[in-house]
Amino acid sequence: MASDAHAHPYDLLRRDEAAETLRRSLRTACAASAWHEKEFLYHEELSREAVRDGAPLLVPCFGVHPQLAAESADACAASLAFLAGLVRENRLGAVGEIGMDLYGGRYRATEKEQERLFDAQLELALEGKLPVVLHLRRATDRAFARSGILARLPAVIFHSFSGTLREALSLSDRGIRAYFSFGAPIALNHKKAREACAGIPLDQLLVETDAPYQAFGGPNFSSGRDYSDWSDLPLVIAEAARLRSADSAVVEAATDINFRRAYGIGG
């Protein structure tokens, strides 16, 4: 069974009303990231319904996204307070996505605020003994700077990992229980992502759709959609398998086991 390490079902719903039906029919478990309260409550409801119906799991995650710092200080404060409540009420599968986005002037202007939010949320994850899902754009160094606290968390999921293979290996060397998740970019010309996906140990590999935000395009795949959904996940798995000269079924099985280990499900 394929498992999606990172998606946004609430946002996908606006592109496809039947998205949850699709997920169930494909038997795809997924981690659902939210950064606004109403998104999270929707995911939490889907998660309860999935358990009730014996459908593939949907793991509700919440974090103050680093891009929110560029929108409003009030929204960040409200989301951070909401997150603290969720941690204390034990309602989360993971804290995230959190991290740093230093791509472009608009985001770089909020660097200090992003640092503050990132650190506050790592503390909350530690308090709740929760895994984190990291969004790091032009900011892999910021994970190295925090390797002490990251190594104390049960798991650290690098969503849409954009660092080098060498960086991935040295993050693991620092005692971080790191997982590296790859999506549509490995099917395009993202050389670093392709090399990292090819070389990291199989037990640290994850796959994701980031649905609806990473549409397949380019020369290898054409989904005919300008958004991603769960039917793209087998394409990601096939590409990861090709890069690793492995069998798709092996990558599918391994990434499913890794998904469960990373998010602390079962066993």
Interacting residues toward Zn ion by CB under 5 A: 210
- Beta-bridge partners for 98: 134
Residue 4 C-beta: closest distance to Zn ion, Å:
11
Decide if 182 contacts 162 (C-beta within 8 A).
no
Q: Give the nearer residue to Zn ion in terms of CB position, either 210 or 239.
A: 210
In angstroms, the CA 58 to CA 19 distance is 13
Decide if 107 contacts 146 (C-beta within 8 A).
no
**Number of residues assigned to the chain:** 267
Q: Give the nearer residue to Zn ion in terms of CB position, either 87 or 184.
A: 184
Q: Give the nearer residue to Zn ion in terms of CB position, either 137 or 242.
A: 137
Residue 173 C-beta: closest distance to Zn ion, Å:
27
Residue 260 C-beta: closest distance to Zn ion, Å:
20
CA 198 from chain center: how many Å?
Answer: 19
Select the residue whose beta carbon is closest to Zn ion and give its number.
Answer: 210
Which secondary structure element, helix H or strand E, spans residue 54, and what is its range? none
CA 6 from chain center: how many Å?
Answer: 4
Residue 233 C-beta: closest distance to Zn ion, Å:
15
Tokens 């404060």 belong to residue? 77
In angstroms, the CA 241 to CA 207 distance is 11
Q: Give the nearer residue to Zn ion in terms of CB position, either 10 or 258.
A: 10
Q: Give the nearer residue to Zn ion in terms of CB position, either 44 or 210.
A: 210
Q: Which residues contact 98 (CB under 8 A, 6 or more apart)?
A: 63, 64, 65, 66, 117, 118, 121, 122, 132, 133, 134, 135
Q: Give the nearer residue to Zn ion in terms of CB position, either 225 or 242.
A: 225
Residue 213 C-beta: closest distance to Zn ion, Å:
6
Residue 253 C-beta: closest distance to Zn ion, Å:
25
